[in-house]
Amino acid sequence: MNPPRVQLSHLDNLWFQVTGTLCNLACTHCFNGSGPGVRTFDFLSPADVRRELGHAARLGVREIFFTGGEPFLHPALLEMLADSLRVAPVTVLTNATLLPERIAVRLAEIERASSYSLEIRVSLDSPNETANDAIRGAGVFSRVLASIERLCRHGLLPLVTVVRNWPLEDEPEILASFTRLLSDRAGYHRPRLKFLPALPLGRELVRIGALHDEPFVTEEMLGGFDSDLLMCSNSRVVTDRGVWVCPLLVEMPDARLGSHLADAAPSYALRHRACYTCYEFGVFCSNVSPAIEGATPPAAPGEP
């Protein structure tokens, strides 16, 4: 059976895989296998970024995202963020272990200088230090909380993103624990939290094993489905090795669509298990994502 094809309806989200797959951490669930010394993909230069920004602006791009690897390993990241903020709102996805005072100050200056929002998305995996560091590495928990404190002190409100690794019924309790932790340890009293699904890709796939048949997206499933909820209908990723269809599939050779945005193929066939994850949860790579049905809402402030 042929996998269904999805057209790019509009380039809402342009991603730069700015440090390739180079990261200072090696998280056990990393979906693109990033880590120390991993050079599957390499750095983009500020000139690469400026060239693609120009093309993306002509296409009507809505938002820019910086990911990796760890973007703050790039010595010219701040320059590229400022360049991008002249074109569109920007989000940078970071593990927040490389954000000393000097960088936090500069980020806040860059944010204030733009009329567009700069979102700092910080990854954390558990409100419990031991559980978090088992996934992300020893000592990471404390360093991240210190970074969040610095960002907040300079007027930035980071989006704390967490890969959901608990049963849905535990969600209100987990949310309350994160809220307490961020307030007590980072002085972040109105935390912005975003929960993400785990992806059956990269090291996570090795970790969970391919033991059961995951469903794939079929033509029938797309009947009556709002394809705008799929990343491939509204996003593209620029890497040093060309343009990929979405940030999840950068390790898949078939997901490379061209050398530059200008010559990238306009459609993609949904061949992967991750495509089903995207179908199931919808646009979760963006800063806002649909709420999960069945998750009980937590108590509002002031409620018992």
* Binding residues for another protein (CB under 8 A): 10, 12, 56-63, 87-89, 111, 115-119, 155-157, 171, 190, 192, 228, 287-292, 295-298, 300-302
DSSP 8-state class, residue 41: S
In sequence order, what are the residues at sequence separation of 6 or more whose Cβ sits closer than 8 angstroms to the Cβ of residue 20?
Answer: 39, 40, 41, 42, 43, 44, 68, 69, 239, 240
Cβ nearer to another protein, comparing 5 with 190: 190
Q: Give the 3-state secondary structure of residue 196.
A: strand
H helix or E strand, kind and range, residue 64:
strand 63-67
Query: Nearest approach, Cβ of 67 to another protein (angstroms)?
Result: 17
Residues 247 and 15 sit within 8 Å (Cβ to Cβ): yes
Token code pair at residue 205: 């796939």
Query: Nearest approach, Cβ of 1 to another protein (angstroms)?
Result: 31
Cβ nearer to another protein, comparing 3 with 298: 298
Instruction: Give the burial class of 196: count Cβ atoms within 10 A of its Cβ; 0-12 exposed, 13-18 middle, 19 or more buried.
Output: middle
Cβ nearer to another protein, comparing 259 with 296: 296
Query: Nearest approach, Cβ of 253 to another protein (angstroms)?
Result: 31
Query: Nearest approach, Cβ of 254 to another protein (angstroms)?
Result: 29
Query: Nearest approach, Cβ of 284 to another protein (angstroms)?
Result: 10
Cβ nearer to another protein, comparing 8 with 140: 8
Residues 246 and 255 sit within 8 Å (Cβ to Cβ): yes
Residues 119 and 90 sit within 8 Å (Cβ to Cβ): yes
Instruction: Give the burial class of 1: count Cβ atoms within 10 A of its Cβ; 0-12 exposed, 13-18 middle, 19 or more buried.
Output: exposed
Cβ nearer to another protein, comparing 216 with 225: 225
Cβ nearer to another protein, comparing 142 with 289: 289
Residues 182 and 127 sit within 8 Å (Cβ to Cβ): no
Query: Nearest approach, Cβ of 159 to another protein (angstroms)?
Result: 8
